[in-house]
């Protein structure tokens, strides 16, 4: 007896590319009158929930960033799984910045000097004061691109650790920060029927 098993060879294709979902913590991040050390709060946290799929990409925006010596800033993002990336470190040299929105996303140029509003890749300049994030921040080495989060789960606590690494001069991330997460598209079973991918598999039943 012969049984024909029809197997539709399926492919997983994106049905729709979901827009990024944005989560924000508008609480100001500053140094509480100090010029050096971890910011307050440390870390600043965003709780992310409701994501059904893994992360495809992540971008982060820092709002109203001001500093009289931006090179003092070291900023680290840690995701719920512990994966992390150094968003911006020792950038901008001595040029004052006032209420600048800075978005960090892979595939863009490095943070410029002087810093102006825009979108830039994670940028870690070296040769300045060391990047030192006190606990509970994870020890380095830290990730160099936001793609470290790709494929991971996004639900949970995201932590932004900001440190001012030099005495004198201070600043603030007065508008807080946000994280925008694009999820891997919902897999959709789309048959290759019509695309030549229908396979007929004949399976002989044992007698
Ligand atoms: Ca650095
Ligand atoms: Ca540094
Ligand atoms: Ca300082």
Measure 193 CA to ligand 1 centroid, in angstroms.
53
Q: Which ligand is in closest contact with the Cα of 140?
A: 1
The ligand with the least distance to the CA atom of 127 is 1
Predicted confidence (pLDDT) per residue in 2-39, tens digit: 544 444 434 444 444 458 999 999 999 999 999 999 99
Domain borders along the chain are 1-15+187-207, 18-184
Strands 97-104 and 118-120: parallel
Measured from the alpha carbon of residue 73, the closest ligand is 2
Q: How many residues are there in the chain?
A: 207
Please state whether beta strands 198-204 and 10-14 pair in parallel, antiparallel, or not at all (unpaired).
unpaired
pLDDT of 66 higher than 50 = yes
In which residue are the tokens 């598209």 written? 185
Q: How many CA atoms lie within 13 A of 142 on its CB side?
A: 24
How far is the centre of ligand 2, averaged over its atoms, from the C-alpha of 142 (Å)? 13
The rounded Å distance from CA 51 to ligand 1 centre is 32
Taking all residues of the chain, what is their mean pLDDT, rounded to a whole number? 88
pLDDT for 191 equals 41
Please name which ligand lies nearest the alpha carbon of 74.
2
> Which of 42, 45, 39 shows the shortest CA–CA distance to 26?
45
Q: Above 70 in pLDDT, residue 200?
A: no
100-110 average pLDDT score: 98
Closest by Cα among 89, 180, 91, 165 to 129: 165
**CATH homologous superfamily of domain 18-184?**
Galactose-binding domain-like (2.60.120.260)
User: pTM of the entire structure?
Assistant: 0.83
Q: Which tokens sit at 11? A: 């492919």
Instruction: Report the C-alpha gap between 76 and 144 in whole angstroms.
Output: 10
- pLDDT tops 90 at residue 192: no
Per-residue pLDDT, 168: 94
Q: How far is the CA of 125 from the centre of ligand 1 (A)?
A: 5
Of the candidates 60, 68, 66, 59, the one whose C-alpha atom is nearest the C-alpha of residue 100 is 66
The string of pLDDT tens digits covering residues 29-39 is 999 999 999 99
> Quick one: pLDDT at residue 120?
98
Spacing, Cα 59 to ligand 2 middle (Å): 22
Cα 196 to averaged position of ligand 3 atoms, centre (Å):
64
Give yes or no for residue 142 having a pLDDT over 70: yes
pLDDT at 44 over 90: yes
Strand partners, 7: 199
Report d(CA 175, CA 131) in Å as an integer: 24
Average pLDDT (45-73) is 98
Res 186: pLDDT: 76
């Amino acid at each position: 007896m012969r049984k024909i098993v029809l197997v539709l060879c399926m492919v997983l294709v994106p049905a729709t590319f979901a827009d990024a979902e944005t989560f924000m913590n508008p609480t100001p991040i500053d140094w509480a009158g100090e010029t050096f050390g971890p910011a307050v709060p440390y870390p600043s946290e965003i709780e992310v929930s409701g994501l059904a799929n893994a992360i495809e990409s992540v971008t982060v925006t820092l709002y109203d960033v001001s500093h009289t010596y931006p090179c003092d800033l070291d900023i680290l993002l840690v995701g719920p799984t512990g994966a992390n990336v150094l968003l911006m470190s020792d950038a901008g040299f001595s040029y004052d910045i006032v209420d600048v929105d800075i978005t960090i996303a892979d595939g863009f140029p490095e943070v410029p000097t002087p810093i102006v509003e825009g979108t830039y890749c994670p940028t870690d300049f070296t040769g300045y004061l060391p990047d030192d994030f006190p606990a509970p921040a994870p020890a380095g080495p830290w990730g160099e691109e936001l793609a470290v989060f790709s494929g991971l789960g996004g639900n949970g606590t995201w932590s932004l650790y900001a440190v001012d690494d030099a005495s004198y001069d201070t600043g603030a991330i007065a508008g807080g920060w946000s994280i925008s997460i694009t999820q891997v598209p919902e897999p959709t079973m789309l048959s290759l029927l019509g695309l030549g991918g229908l396979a007929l598999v004949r399976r002989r039943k044992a007698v």
